[in-house]
Structure 1
Amino acid sequence: MKKYSSYILLLLAGLALGWWLFSPAESTATTEHTHSETSTEQLWTCSMHPQILKTESGDCPICGMELIPAEKGADGLTPEQFTMTENAMALANVQTTVVGDAEDAKGTYTLSGTIQPNEENNAVQVSYFAGRIEKLNVNYTGQTVQKGQVLATMYSPALITAQQELLSAVELKNSQPALYKAVRNKLKLWKLTEAQINSIETSGTVQEYMPVYATVSGTVLDKLVSEGDEVKKGQALLKISNLNTVWAAFDLYENTLGSLEKGQQLSITTAAYPGKTFEGTVAFIDPVLNNTTRTVTARVTLNNKENRWKPGMFVEAKVQTANTTTETLTIPASSVLWTGKRSVVYVKVPGTQPIFEMREVTLGPKLADSYEITSGLTAGEEIVTHGAFTVDAAAQLQGKPSMMHQPKAATENAFSLENEQSLKVAPKFVAQLEEVYKAYLPLKDALVNDDSAKAKASVSQLKSAINAVDMSLLKQSEAHEIWMSTKRELLDQLQQFQQKVDLKEQRKLFIPISENIITLAQTFGATETAYVQFCPMADNNKGAYWLSDETEIKNPYFGASMLTCGNVAKTITSK
């Protein structure tokens, strides 16, 4: 009995020791404490850049706004944004680049084309009489032939009959000279030479086999018959081309038609002669668009006496655009995704985390391996240049706007002077906006003076003034949001304006530009008095506004034709 009691005591002692050594109490308490700390930890975010999440309060590293408390469980993303893991990006080899001016492509774009035979020098060698080809002296395409060379020997029953008629007519030469002459002319029409006809007359015998002579010199491009073939009168035997000159034919897309004209000089290169450039002049631009490829063919005639150019060779041509001074925003062609009429890219949101959002862009001409961007992006933004389809797939899986899932556009109210509200902001910010207003006035004045070139040139100054505004001076989220959205619209509109040379198109774009400038002046104020002026006849009698520093009406929408049309709709007093 004592023995069993000892065993029981030892077992109880072991259990007690194990409980003491491996008790989860401390671990549980620690875990609960950790969870409690985690659940109560406050995150801070920026109202304008919700991808920013900080564990402490402070200022936004992007815009300088004061951070606000983030809601619990917030992922810090806007409805348009989504994330990818570093591993997913590495596996898909997703690469990004910063948008900027492409110095190598600025002012030029590349056309692709091929070398083709000059159709003006093409000829078809035909048979002028029916018969059978007994011997063909052209054995392969690419063979060079000379005018007068024997191409083939033919047996022709019709020609034998014609020779017999000639021999009969010779006997009646004196009594029926007209008949004799007609028979000789018949043989001449069948391309027999005077020497051949005289030989038949002199010998008094019929030639069963008649040679066919080349009527032109050149290179055989196509052999259409073989020995033993029966051919009809007028049937094609060979296609021959003189390759002393050739055509370089290039395909022009619709958006590049305006930058190329007949007589323009092109720099042509080919992989066959690396490092060499050949100059050529545009000799012809097809007046009809190919509905299948949506291209127009432009031709350059090239000298080929050295037999350098071979039909079928690929060539490229550099085209100098008319305007090389305008700032051109370009992106790699690999970054663009197309769906219907939409062109989209994926923008990487600034920050350490891989956060992306889709952006619709408007493309200009293709420049080398890049596209010119007329709207949708600004210099300095980072976009996906490799792996865009993978990023798009990630957006679709997360239910975000993507190439195939177009977000519904928000309904916007028409511009009205009554829609704007006034916000109190830092005087320094208003002073910086005053520089924007001053830079806007030369653009307005150029349109008043009907000077499209000066209007286009003044855009750069206005863009610089807008980019110089320090948005970190805005501490209110509402003010910050208005400034950022208006700034983006203005820069897009000004970039489009720089692509226009027609005064009518410039004035059409000046309407939304003016509306955005007026929005800034009404919302944030001005350091000097400004006047909102209105012309009821502008924009096809819909009416349009503009901002002026004087009460006198000088209409930018009509210029000299209706200079004083309009009135002062509102006065913005200085702050």
Structure 2
Amino acid sequence: MKPQLRRISLMALCAVIFATAGWFAGKHSSGETTKTTRQPATASAERKVLYWYDPMTPGTRFDKPGKSPFMDMDLVPRYADEEGQPDGVRVSARQQQNLGVRTADVTKRVMEARLDGYGTVAVNERTRVTVPALASGLVEKLYVNAPQQFVRKGEALAQLWIPQWAAAQQEYLAVRALGDAALNHAARERLALLFMPEEIIRQVERTGKPQTRVTVRASQAGYINQLEVREGAQVSATQALFDVAALNTVWAVLDYPQNQAAQVHTGSEVTATTQAWPGKVFQGKVTEVLPNLDADTRTLKARVTLDNPDQQLRPGMYLHMALTPATQQAPVLAIPEEALITTGSQNRVLLAEKDGYFSPQAVTLGEHAQGFVEVKSGLKEGQRIVVSGQFLIDSEASLRSALPEMADNNKPGHAATQTAATDKASAPAAISANGEVVALADGAVTISHAAIPALKWPPMTMDFSATPQQQQRLKIGDHVMFSFTMTEDGARLESIMNMPADGHKAQR
């Protein structure tokens, strides 16, 4: 019995030890849980709210919480213990290097409104002249019998036989024989009213015989634009025989984007070059700004008159044209176009602040020229902005909410609420890609983009719905980085920005 009693006693002792240990562990765990759950509440109760703000426009402050009037998001509180800390997202120096972040100063520069475009040479319609038949008759001979033939001023074009002049000329000779100056003058005026050239009248006076044949001559040098008759044809008075167009000046229609309409004015100086004459520069001016917008290309047109003294420019030639401003503009605040992040509701940039912080700043834009854009409001001279890598910081999936959440996560004492997490989970995820703009239309941008692994899409060309603000700085051929969401109506752009062509090719 002693061995059995010893075993029972040992088992009872182990049970007591385990029970005591479990009681202590439960008490310790309960105490820690209470401490953990109560500490944030106490800390939150002690924090003082100074004001509420929209992280997208941190300069505007509000006295109470609510929805932001700028973005579809809740206002964020600013606590007293956070005063003096920079807003935005903090990115370490190593991360900045990995992301390829580059910054530049906001400076003033002269925005030269230089506009490059293309056009086609056309006949200057104001130089076209029609050579008519002076009276009803017959085309006896054509000296110029092919269209597009060059003629000199005064060159014979055709010979006409006009038999109806004979009677009037004989009457004039009879009156002239009477020697009455008044009657002679009246008879001579009658010949002029029959469109009889002065040289024919003098020939009648000199020879004393009717002259019923007349030579039609070119009134200016140029090309036979139209040939209306053939040899042996019968013609009537004032009928068009030839159409002659001079090429001392020519027209070219300049196509330019509608967002550059403010740069094109009547009288603007234009230079043109063509591959037909390498190194040759032709000078001209904008003579008319045409009113219609091309619905297919979304471009406006301007008529340019170019000097062509050597007649080297011929109708149909393709031209590269550049428009320069008539007057030098004053320096304005400007930033590189690649620094812009365009959303459906605003344009903004990322400010580079001290200690690796980056914060968004809404800007109002002006003119675009030579890769720069004028900033009318939102920035000051000397501030630093991100010009490369900003799209990865202000990512397409967080344009409306992620930046404020990222900023709050970097601040001490931040606690994400369950409601915010639920809203973020329910919001449609935005997908980023890069590509090339191939077409623009009202409310849509057609982009040829690279493969999108997140959607298992191969490279393709597709349409994205877009706002006018997103389309404002785009033109066909631009290389862009963009983000989009899929809706019931199709793909919708959330943001889009220009990017260097080399970078685009590298990512593709």
Higher strand share: 2
> Per the shorter chain, which TM-score range?
0.3 to 0.5
TM-score, length-normalised on structure 2?
A: 0.46
Q: Which has the higher contact order (CA 8 A, sep 6+)?
A: 2
Higher helix share: 1
TM-score, length-normalised on structure 1?
A: 0.41
